[in-house]
Structure 1
């Protein structure tokens, strides 16, 4: 019996070692096809059910022990807003005759129908913007989606739906969120209103702007409120939302270019850490709050890549290969979907015990946020360049790699 157990353990160790190997080199087009497949799989249950008015009916909802909210009032907007922010750049690409374009068009058409249902009081999938604090967060991700793809997701909406969206966003002003990264949610909600020509509340924008600047601690990291916490919130929220908010303010001449440029430089610096967190086998540290957001941890790196602002020593190909390795590890090796394609509560598979008290099924769709480079066309160098090693692969292969440093901006 003991020999059988030992043999079984040995086989299991071998299986893990094999699955943990660096993926064989693939072409950029193969990587892109794989990214599209995963993102389409992840987004489809949310988007297609919303379009049919069956999201609340069909979305299974998991919550951890001690969950602190009434999930039926918040989880559905969480799923919609977060998914929308992640797929928006991809949906913004023009249609063509490819299989990928067919997937994009299906999702885009369905999401436009779904947005109309989400703000229609007579719809079974009318989403809650008007009570509880959590909608401040997830309206902000919806705003991020509109800002990332205005021609694809905002302009095609009919006038009544646009008016309803604006009114739902204004209704968020009856509440204030937490004194931390939540300030950015209120700020970007108002920046969205400013962008679409509605009357914004400048005080919410200004409060977020001043406090986030005050909470900068250096070397690409912001504190999440007055106290620093070591987690992925600089990527989940702070850098991407701050830069997007500043982009709107810069376009409206409400801030100077130097302020925007500094925020962008800080995000680029943080993206360097983001890239170095990816090990040679595609794993990354499971630390801090909200690790159930999975690959959302790499939104900052993904946004810098989408903006074609990667640091000189991180090539587009190496960033692509690093993220692809993460996806293979996270979505091939870990069973993160249930039998109907919904994300399950956990990090690598079903692990409800690691979920935070504010996390439910809808929360998990932050995972879409690292797929932003799909907004780059297939002929961009991010996708056409031959595969390259990323920093940790070079470091652990005894190859030259860039020495890290501290920056003071």
Structure 2
């Protein structure tokens, strides 16, 4: 009897092994092949950073999350591109740090927590100061009073260039945020997390309107939405199972989610949304949000609403895919879910373009050139 039980148990193990190999081997080969293709693209695309003989004093945003990952990405890129880097917070004695480290330039991210008196003290030391505004045009009521204290102003929104020039800033440049390849990159995600379409972001009212109309068209797909305020949806209770409500994901988790889905939707925030908006000038936004670069860096197909400046950074239908209406979004999602080879081709093109042109190393090279040579 015992021998019969052992033989039966052995047969079950062998059957399970055979079934696991039959089902798992193709998936493992497919995942490994995809990761290899992505790695090949990254190695071809990423430029080798060259350190400049320059000293940089970097002042963090001082705001914590979600700004701290941007600070981290910029500091990492600075260490790759500048020979001397000093990092301080806005509440530090900035002038003393500048006098001690003798930087050639100071870069401040966001600048809303940094006293303009401290900036002026650094200016008097002969250090060229630069501010990089991260939330234009949504906080221009505040940044209007900050910008003129810096030698050079950088904004991620092209339509803000005349806004700052009209307020006395003599050196203003357009510089969107970039991506940190250590945070946003291709990943081999657990099978249990995989889906077809996802969106991660806050439910501003234009996004609510978009998804009120889009969800019924794509809900039959494996759809996942994550972020704040999605209970604003007209039929939230109907779609509750598709939504992680109130979740604010950090970069690694966000990149994991992007990688786990075959299509990631991008929808830009409206310039006149009244939610946490301090844009009394009603400056319309035409430039891509940071999510544009982060999705592309994760090697997934991006379906994004069309902003005027996107064509400066990506070629539509070759590196990303754009939509003009909920119906077009749904139609293109169905198309690319049914055409895997095309989907992968565009995703890899977007990955290449991002790693070649849109990392923080690339952005900081531009920022340092413009500040020091301006």
Q: Same fold (TM over 0.5)?
A: no
Q: TM-score interval w.r.t. the shorter chain?
A: under 0.3
What TM-score does the superposition give when structure 1 sets the normalisation length?
A: 0.23
Structure of higher CA gyration radius:
2
* Structure with a larger share of its residues in strand: 2
What TM-score does the superposition give when structure 2 sets the normalisation length?
A: 0.24
Which of 1 and 2 has higher RCO (CA within 8 Å, sep 6+)? 1
* Structure with a larger share of its residues in helix: 1
